[in-house]
Structure 1
Amino acid sequence: MISWTDYGLGSHRLTCPACGRGPRDKTLGLTIKRDWSGVCHCYRCGLAESYRPERGAHLSTPSKPRIKPAAPSEKHETLSDWGHSLWAVSKSLSGIALDYLNARRCCIPPADADLRWHPALKHPAGHAGPALVALITDALTGEPLSLHRTWIRADGRKSDIDPPRLLLGGHRKQGGVIRLWPAGAATPCLGIAEGIETALSLAWGVQPVLACIDAGNLAAFPVLPGIERLVIARDNDPAGIRAVGTCAQRWANAGRTVLVTQQQQNDLNDLVMGVTAA
């Protein structure tokens, strides 16, 4: 299932061949050791495979995802009680959370934005540490849908944990956004981006801003009443470029002005941080 000889020594992140949802859905961790043997594991479906040059690959779990169907009570169209509780105990941005955002050269959002932090949030892998906690709400209705969590370090890097960003399981993400400026900040101009850090980089020039979470949500971002100009911070990869094209066409067809950022770097945050383009 894995083309082991295509990878060099070290760790790699791949799309799981069993449960992968697209080229950007890299839930499979793969490691090649010094003797060119290797192991891989998908954190979502549990797929595990090992490889030795002399005997080839060995699949230790079925090729079909081992995801148990969720009971109706485990499916949440809106934010669950547990999600509301976590959001309630999360703190306004301060301490390590501010250190992280400042190190990433982000524009700091207002205190009443849908972005908070938790000093010791537990990760499914067992790690507990500081994490940004963002509320995801429906782009049209504003109803809470889910939470987005990013485990962070004060130096501007994400925590050394796999994966460092997670959505709440069993919650709807489609149609959701992270409002990095409160609803009362609505103006005829709006900025959007995929990720939180990219949106907060765009905020140096455009406010308010929203983070759409990923390319799929950005592509489907609906035309909002009262917004006459949309500024999109484009991720410079195939999925990001396609998403921006789809969204921009929808808004242009509705008679709205659309502006799109361009940079050699992967995203606007890389540009703001002075990261050299690959």
Structure 2
Amino acid sequence: MTLGATYSVLCSTAHKVDAATGEHGDLLDVIRESLGLVDFRDVADEARSFLSMPQQTPRPVELNTRAPRAVVSSAEAARRLVAMSRPICRTLVETYLRARGIMAFHETGSLSFHPRCYYRPDEDGPTETWPAMIAAVTDLNGKHTGAHRTWLDPNGFNETCLGRAPIDTPRRAMGELLGHAVRFGVGCDVMTAGEGIETMLSQRTVVPAMPAIAALSAGHLSAILFPDTLRRLYIARDNDPAGNGAMATLMERASSAGIEAIVLTPQLGDFNEDLRLLGPDALRATLRVQIAPQDVARFMVLSA
């Protein structure tokens, strides 16, 4: 057996640290005998060279050093942000949603309000504070994995910003988002999925009993994870190229999982535009003809 082969056999049973410190003597003995080395330092250096370990050099003792600051993950930072926010009732968040025509405030525990949420235009820019709608992103088991921030204009709604703060990027997400979503209602065998929070709350304004999730973007919509109980999925698409792509991908994934997928299409750009500009009656009529008859009776309040 060659020296390299012998090394490989021994490495399969020895930890790198053990080999370098002499606690696993077999490897060091092979090196000593094969290379004719006498000094232990030479033997250890050869072992480290083979194992690609860095040379150990003495470090100067540092007095009064502080422990390194713990790195907070984006998911943990998101959980902290959600925890320090408060319910939306009688806050600027409720005012904002009502200004966008939304009246569905049941089962909105995933939403909260932060009066002074940090915003930084870029890495080098100064930190600003704006009021914000905070949305908790959760997995299928209800674990918080991320958060979505919508910074709001304290001066109220206008058609230019639609109630969002007049800043470059009034919406940002943080944490682990892929596969997860902002959830409204308790999941069952039927649910609807779309991109934006306002889009899904607009739909729930006229289909109040159907569970819904907001994936926050077209890319994340196409990658949502399906509950084991899901049998029929409504896809609330946005009328744009990204929405078309997400719809096609999600329909293919649902079909492969044995889930019936039905596309819901707004008359305008998205369902919040339908709600704001056409009104709730028009939105209700649009959805009623696209939803399966048994789900109309089950989830839509016909007398509304």
- TM-score normalised by length of structure 1: 0.64
Deviation at 1:129, TM superposition (A): 2.2
Alignment of 1:22-41 (within 5 A): none
Of 228, 231, 234 in structure 1, the residue corresponding to residue 234 of structure 2 is 231
1:119-146 deviation per Cα after TM superposition (whole angstroms, max 9, x unaligned): 22121143322210011122x3432211
Match of 2:197 in 1: 196
Deviation at 1:117, TM superposition (A): 1.1
Q: Is the 8 A contact 1:92 1:111 kept in 2?
A: no
1:54-95 deviation per Cα after TM superposition (whole angstroms, max 9, x unaligned): xxxxxxxxxxxxxxxxx994555xx21x33332112111122
Q: Is the 8 A contact 1:192 1:199 kept in 2?
A: yes
Point out the structure with the larger helix share: 2
Of 152, 175, 178 in structure 2, the residue corresponding to residue 174 of structure 1 is 178
Q: 1:111 and 1:221 mapped to 2: Cα distance?
A: 20
Match of 1:40 in 2: none
Deviation at 1:112, TM superposition (A): 5.6
- Secondary structure at the aligned position of 1:176 is classed as coil
- Secondary structure at the aligned position of 1:100 is classed as helix
Alignment of 1:93-172 (within 5 A): 93-94=88-89, 95-110=91-106, 113-125=109-121, 126-138=127-139, 140-153=140-153, 154-155=156-157, 156-168=162-174, 171-172=175-176
Q: Is the 8 A contact 1:151 1:165 kept in 2?
A: yes
Q: What amino acid does structure 1 have at the position aligned with 2:171? A: R
Q: 1:258 and 1:110 mapped to 2: Cα distance?
A: 25
1:214 aligns with 2:217: yes
Q: 1:72 and 1:252 mapped to 2: Cα distance?
A: 44
Task: Call closer, same or farther: CA 1:254–1:111 in 2, change over 3 Å.
Answer: closer
- Secondary structure at the aligned position of 2:202 is classed as helix
Q: Is the 8 A contact 1:235 1:241 kept in 2?
A: yes
Q: 1:72 and 1:235 mapped to 2: Cα distance?
A: 41
Q: 2:86 and 2:219 mapped to 1: Cα distance?
A: 29
Q: What amino acid does structure 1 have at the position aligned with 2:81? A: L
Q: 1:111 and 1:224 mapped to 2: Cα distance?
A: 19
Percent identity between matched residues is 30
Match of 1:38 in 2: none
Q: Is the 8 A contact 1:191 1:202 kept in 2?
A: no
Q: What amino acid does structure 1 have at the position aligned with 2:222? A: A
Deviation at 1:160, TM superposition (A): 0.1
1:265 aligns with 2:268: yes
Match of 2:41 in 1: none
Alignment of 1:244-255 (within 5 A): 244-255=247-258
Deviation at 1:230, TM superposition (A): 1.0
- Secondary structure at the aligned position of 2:272 is classed as helix
- Secondary structure at the aligned position of 2:261 is classed as strand
Q: 2:107 and 2:264 mapped to 1: Cα distance?
A: 27
Task: Call closer, same or farther: CA 1:122–1:223 in 2, change over 3 Å.
Answer: closer
Of 67, 72, 87 in structure 2, the residue corresponding to residue 92 of structure 1 is 87
- TM-score normalised by length of structure 2: 0.59
- Secondary structure at the aligned position of 2:181 is classed as strand
- Secondary structure at the aligned position of 2:93 is classed as helix
Q: 1:141 and 1:112 mapped to 2: Cα distance?
A: 17
Deviation at 1:166, TM superposition (A): 1.2
Which stretch shows the higher mean deviation, 261-270 or 192-201?
A: 261-270
Which stretch shows the higher mean deviation, 156-165 or 111-120?
A: 111-120
Q: Is the 8 A contact 2:87 2:109 kept in 1?
A: no
Gaps in structure 1 of 5+ consecutive residues = 1-70
Q: Is the 8 A contact 2:179 2:224 kept in 1?
A: yes
Gaps in structure 2 of 5+ consecutive residues = 1-68, 122-126, 280-304
Deviation at 1:109, TM superposition (A): 3.4
- CA RMSD in angstroms comes to 2.4
* Higher gyration radius (CA): 2
